[in-house]
Amino acid sequence: MDRRRLTHALASDELPAYALGALDADESAALVEHLAECPFCQADQHRLDELVGLLGTAVPQTSPPPSLREQVLAQAAIEANAGPTGERPTLRLLPGWARAALAAAAALVLILTGAVAVLLYNQWQIRQELDTLRAEQREIASILAQSAWWAPVTAEASQSQPVVGRLYLEEGQAGVLVIDGLSPLGPGQVYQIWLIRADNTRVSAGVFTVDASRRATVLLHAPGTWSAYQGMGITVEPGPAGSPGPTGPRVAGCSLADWQPGGL
Amino acid sequence: MTREPSDQELMAGLQQRDHQALALLYDRYARSVYSLALHILRDQAAAEDVTQEVFLQLWRQPERYAHERGPLGPWLLRVTRNRAIDLLRRSGRERRPPYADARGVDFHLADPSPGPDEHAWSSTVATRVQAALGELSDTQRQVIELAYFRGLTQREMADVLGLPLGTVKTRVRTALRRLAEILTRDGVWTDVG
């Protein structure tokens, strides 16, 4: 991405506005890059963050309704009993006889339709794929133009540059991941995107590869809304479909707690 | 007399899934959290939702709070403020003009009237923070209020206030730096833990 690099003096000037969440998206991104490299600004930022927290005391004090306490503690108790895996939906397999019947039916359908049907299907599939791609491009353009939120995507320590992209979020569940700086992968490998729920479970949000210029643009649809997720991670997985759960090394990610206001 | 457990001890309790630790932290900070959410959102149900989310998040992921980043109270209020502003932006409630009506009225500069269940930091610190805010000029306080309570960026503030962006940037920078100086002078940083 073509973005100005901040000098230390400029970055230091912008830290108060950053702590207040008052920077535009591009200004924030440039400052985040500087912060990743500057321990002085990091220390200053921690102090300003604390100051901004203190500002929250300067409001009229009102007690919450007593029922809220019970509600919070009851919910915490439920979650503690359920454990981290308790909320995961269980996959139920069909009984063996039903699976066998389905397999036989599928084989029969395939034989009956024959080679002509397969060819027609292929043509139809190509048209469908083209239509899907066009629709995707339109949706990506629309999200990038209207996105209300974005978060910087930072690489894990072994990567050469700290910021390797941005995640643009639309209100609701659509988003666009713009990658600029991930290494091209070997054959048979893909990058897989994981959305991280509050309980630390991961949901796959698709796979992608980068081109020779280390770039990619990926359309995402979060199950539920974005507020259900605390972060996003990218791992390297076997292609072409990726894995049911993360198995490879995490190469980049972002915290959705660090959402910044503003679109492009 | 039994000593009250410190925040750090209670956070260690959360790591051990100690339900009682959560209850004590709730009793210590719920009033501050709820008051801030209510002040930003002006909606009791939404403020309750934010309060519940903040404490359940703390319960689910106590490791997200790092002691090295400062005391728990200000950290919780920062999380609360971010969640409330997030909700505000999503609802679009504060996107309608005139923002300028908010001039100088948002921070509570009077006595914070602490409740009986309140942890010492929020009442004593609040008094000093309010006094420090009172030392800022109206224009300096205004930009902090618009950013802090309305979630406006500097560019949006410049539009709303009809000021050059550079002027707004200078005001934000000098206001927050000045506030930090005053609070350092008054020793608030050592009182917040």
pLDDT for the residue B9: 92
Q: For residue B88, give Cα distances in angstroms to A52, A66, A67, B43, B46.
A: 18, 25, 24, 10, 10
Q: Using the beta-carbon criterion (under 8 Å), do B51 and A51 form an inter-chain contact?
A: no
- Give all domains of chain B, ordered by start, each with its CATH number: 1-96 (1.10.1740.10), 97-193 (1.10.10.10)
Contacts of B32 in chain A (CB under 8 A): 56-57, 61
Confidence class for position B67, pLDDT limits 50, 70, 90: confident
Across A40-49, A92-101, B130-139, least confident range: A92-101
Average pLDDT rounded to a whole number, residues B177-190: 84
Average pLDDT rounded to a whole number, residues B153-166: 94
pLDDT for the residue A80: 75
**Helix (H), strand (E) at residue A219:** strand A215-221
Across A98-107, B61-70, B133-142, least confident range: A98-107
pLDDT tens for B92-136 read 644 444 444 444 446 666 554 544 444 556 677 888 888 999 999
Q: Where are the domains of chain A?
A: 8-53, 98-146, 149-261
Contacts of B42 in chain A (CB under 8 A): none
Contacts of A51 in chain B (CB under 8 A): 74, 176, 179-180, 183
Taking CA–CA distances from B105, the nearest residue in chain A reads A59
CA distance A73 to A102: 47
pLDDT for the residue B69: 73
CA distance B169 to B157: 10
Percent with pLDDT over 70 in chain B: 80
pLDDT for the residue A85: 40
**What does the block give as tokens for A50?**
């604390």
pLDDT for the residue A115: 65
**Looking at the predicted structure, is the pLDDT value of residue A109 above 70?**
no
**Looking at the predicted structure, is the pLDDT value of residue B154 above 90?**
yes
| Top-ranked range on mean pLDDT: pick from A60-74, A97-111, A230-244, B77-91 | A60-74
pLDDT for the residue B51: 97
Interface of A with B in 69-88 (CB under 8 A): 69, 71-73, 75-77, 79-80
Average pLDDT rounded to a whole number, residues B23-44: 94
Taking CA–CA distances from A14, the nearest residue in chain B reads B173
Contacts of A50 in chain B (CB under 8 A): 69-71, 74-75, 189, 192
Average pLDDT rounded to a whole number, residues A136-164: 72
pLDDT tens for A63-84 read 999 999 999 999 998 887 765 4
Q: Coil, helix or strand for A238?
A: strand
Which residue among B56, B75, B112 places its CB closest to the CB of A61?
B112
* Most A-contacting residue of B15, B22, B176 (CB-CB within 10 A), to test interface: B176
**Looking at the predicted structure, is the pLDDT value of residue B159 above 90?**
yes
pLDDT for the residue B2: 64
Beta-carbon contacts of B41 under 8 Å, excluding residues fewer than 6 positions away, are B47, B50, B84, B87, B88
pLDDT tens for A202-227 read 989 889 998 887 888 888 888 877 77
pLDDT for the residue B188: 76
Residue of A30, A28, A32 lying closest to A3 (CA atoms): A30
Residue A27: exposure state from Cβ atoms within 10 A (0-12, 13-18, ≥19): buried
Give yes or no for a contact between A190 and A242, defined as CB atoms under 8 angstroms apart: yes
**A177 or B1, which is more confident:** A177
CA distance A177 to chain B (A): 20
Which residue among A16, A77, A230 places its CB closest to the CB of B19?
A77
Please state whether the peptide bond connecting residue A240 to the residue before it is cis, i.e. omega within 30 degrees of 0.
Answer: yes
Architecture of domain A149-261 in CATH?
Sandwich (2.60)
